[in-house]
Structure 1
Amino acid sequence: MMRVLIVEDEALVAMEIEGMLEIAGHDATGMADDLESAVAAAEADRPDLALVDINLARGCSGLDVAAALKARGVPVMFATGNCASDSGRGLAMGCLHKPITDSTLAAAIAAAAAVLGGGRPQRLPASLHFYD
């Protein structure tokens, strides 16, 4: 079971991801919609992984969130319709392209858990890519 922080500015999307995580046997530790709330949630809950949208409301960037979470030792996987190419390298382990389904999210979390545990993922959904 992974403990996952969801950083998403669209409340319905965040709730949908939360439900998918629970179905897959994972725990959504919290939801945040900007840099300040993401940092506060990460410090309070110490998640194993954060799923971060790149385009957040109120001028906030998921790239900034990823940098702040990485500095606090929280691994990040972008979950977005606009995956960062070079700008995401070094900030996140990879990117899960939206739209997200139950099966792609479950496979992406399993792949992230394998990598974070020092192993290799058994399978990657087509909508997930890891940065080198």
Structure 2
Amino acid sequence: MDMATSARDSRPHILIVEDEWLVAEDFEHALREADFAVVGPASSLAKALEYIECDLIDGALIDVNLGEGISEALTRALEERNIPFAVVTGYDVDDLPSLFSRHPVVNKPVGERALPQLVSKLLEKATDQPRG
């Protein structure tokens, strides 16, 4: 989604941060089928941070490693803005830095039905929290 030219609609806008294009495409398809607006996918930390700065994100699904190392800066940027997110990774939960333990962690591969359910739960939990 091009944030500069797209009008904001009422659907929840979910950022996908994933550097494997086929995985990102599967995530995007599953979310669009469930009537979420997809932002991205972003395949780099820089692009993900750019989308977050637009302040049009309601939630996010992030990969831990974008080929640039562990995405701790991304996690902090989302937390600072109180944007709910889940970590979708191939790593074992016990191998992740503690920074990620405050958020739902889902192992890849993720089922097509499970992904929209995960995002819905993220958004439900966030409705009572103030945005930063």
Stretches of structure 1 that go unaligned for 5 or more consecutive residues are 120-132
Question: How many residues matched?
Answer: 116
Counterpart residue number, 1:62: 71
1-side partners of 2:41 and 2:55: how far apart?
11
Counterpart residue number, 2:98: 86
Residue 85 of structure 1 and its aligned partner are, at CA, apart by 6.0
2-side partners of 1:9 and 1:33: how far apart?
4
Residue 102 of structure 1 and its aligned partner are, at CA, apart by 1.4
Q: Which has the higher contact order (CA 8 A, sep 6+)?
A: 2
Superposed CA deviations along residues 21-69 of structure 1, whole A, max 9, x for unmatched, are: 0011111022212221111011225210111000211x23223311122
The aligned amino acid for 1:101 is G
Stretches of structure 2 that go unaligned for 5 or more consecutive residues are 1-10
Counterpart residue number, 1:5: 15
1-side partners of 2:123 and 2:82: how far apart?
15
Query: Mean Cα displacement is larger for which, 93-102 or 7-16?
Result: 93-102
Q: What's the TM-score, normalizing by structure 2?
A: 0.76
8 Å contact 1:81–1:97 — kept in the other structure? yes
What RMSD in Å do the two structures reach over aligned CA positions? 2.0
8 Å contact 2:64–2:88 — kept in the other structure? yes
The aligned amino acid for 1:6 is I
Counterpart residue number, 1:76: 85
Matches within 5 A, 1:1-132: 1-44=11-54, 46-57=56-67, 59-82=68-91, 83=93, 84=96, 86-90=98-102, 93-118=103-128
Q: Any runs of at least 4 consecutive aligned residues in structure 1 with deviations exceeding 3 A, and if so which?
A: none
1-side partners of 2:45 and 2:81: how far apart?
13
Q: What's the TM-score, normalizing by structure 1?
A: 0.76
